[in-house]
């Protein structure tokens, strides 16, 4: 009887812990959007562009800074330094986001396409987060396939920095929407099922999913429905 009580108690404590991680992840995710917006606004205002010179060198520099931030966040994820680095990273990502926003605002319907991309990203997130939270199916088996998909995307991006093929860029964006949407399922369910117990790491993962879905959606919308002046 005592053993059964301990098992029930442990199960309840585990469920409470998972709910706490998910709740804190959502709060920190919402907070991380603030420096992203600030960075994007500053980047648009001052016409920031890391890729203006050499796209290949710019992409390598971006990846180096981004991975440096992510390494620091993971190393300090159990302290306030990790949160500060995460917010600094999202500010940097906002600056990087300003590049495509500047392009979009050059279109007659650019502002509305940004809004559509934002709404589409929010819809994808809330629907898939709901599925990940309630579904009985285990999505953890997707992990290896998604990782391979991301590696293929990175290689394709590096190649296209040289080749500058429009059709390849669109293919990369379409695949990115699919892969990072699937990552939302994967990452949220990991939190729900106790596979991720640190909300800083969880926020970083989900933030990157959302960011990549938004950028890729906006790229596709600009390519197919953008109206030039």
Per-residue model confidence as pLDDT tens digits over 183-197: 999 999 999 998 999
Residues of the chain with pLDDT under 50: 4-14
pLDDT in tens, 20-35: 999 999 999 999 999 9
What is residue 162's predicted lDDT score, i.e. its pLDDT? 84
What is residue 52's predicted lDDT score, i.e. its pLDDT? 64
138: left (phi over 0), alpha (psi -120 to 50) or beta: beta
Instruction: Dig out the tokens for 183 from the structure.
Output: 């990552």
What is residue 5's predicted lDDT score, i.e. its pLDDT? 44
Report d(CA 131, CA 121) in Å as an integer. Answer: 15
What is residue 17's predicted lDDT score, i.e. its pLDDT? 58
Could you tell me how far CA 131 lies from the centroid of its own chain?
18
Q: How many residues does the chain have?
A: 229
Contact 70, 204 (CB under 8 A): yes
What is residue 69's predicted lDDT score, i.e. its pLDDT? 97
Q: What is the dihedral of CA 166, 214, 128, 115, to 10 degrees?
A: -120
What is residue 16's predicted lDDT score, i.e. its pLDDT? 55
Rounded to two decimals, the pTM is 0.90
Long-range CB contact pairs, 114-123, < 8 A, 24+: 114/218, 116/221, 117/214, 117/217, 117/218, 117/221, 118/214, 120/217, 121/210, 121/213, 121/214, 121/217
Instruction: Dig out the tokens for 96 from the structure.
Output: 């990087």
CA torsion sign, 124 to 137 to 146 to 90?
Answer: positive
């Amino acid at each position: 009887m005592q053993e059964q009580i301990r098992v029930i108690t442990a199960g309840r404590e585990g469920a409470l812990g998972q709910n706490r991680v998910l709740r804190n992840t959502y709060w920190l995710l919402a907070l991380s959007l603030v420096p992203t917006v600030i960075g994007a606004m500053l980047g648009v205002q001052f016409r920031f562009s890391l890729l203006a010179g050499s796209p290949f060198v710019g992409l390598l520099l971006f990846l180096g800074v981004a991975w440096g931030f992510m390494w620091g966040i993971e190393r300090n994820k159990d302290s306030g330094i990790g949160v500060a680095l995460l917010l600094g990273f999202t500010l940097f990502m906002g600056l990087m986001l300003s590049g495509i926003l500047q392009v979009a605002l050059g279109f007659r319907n650019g502002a509305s396409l940004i809004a559509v991309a934002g709404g589409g990203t929010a819809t994808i997130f809330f629907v898939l987060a709901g599925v990940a939270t309630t579904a009985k199916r285990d999505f953890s088996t997707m992990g290896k396939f998604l990782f391979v998909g991301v590696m293929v995307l990175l290689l394709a991006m590096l190649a296209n920095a040289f080749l500058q093929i429009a059709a390849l860029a669109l293919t990369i964006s379409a695949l990115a929407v699919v892969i990072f949407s699937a990552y939302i399922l994967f990452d949220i369910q990991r939190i729900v099922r106790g596979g991720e117990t640190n909300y800083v790491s969880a926020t970083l993962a989900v933030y990157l999913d959302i960011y990549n879905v938004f950028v890729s959606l906006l790229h596709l919308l600009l390519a197919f429905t953008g109206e030039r002046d």
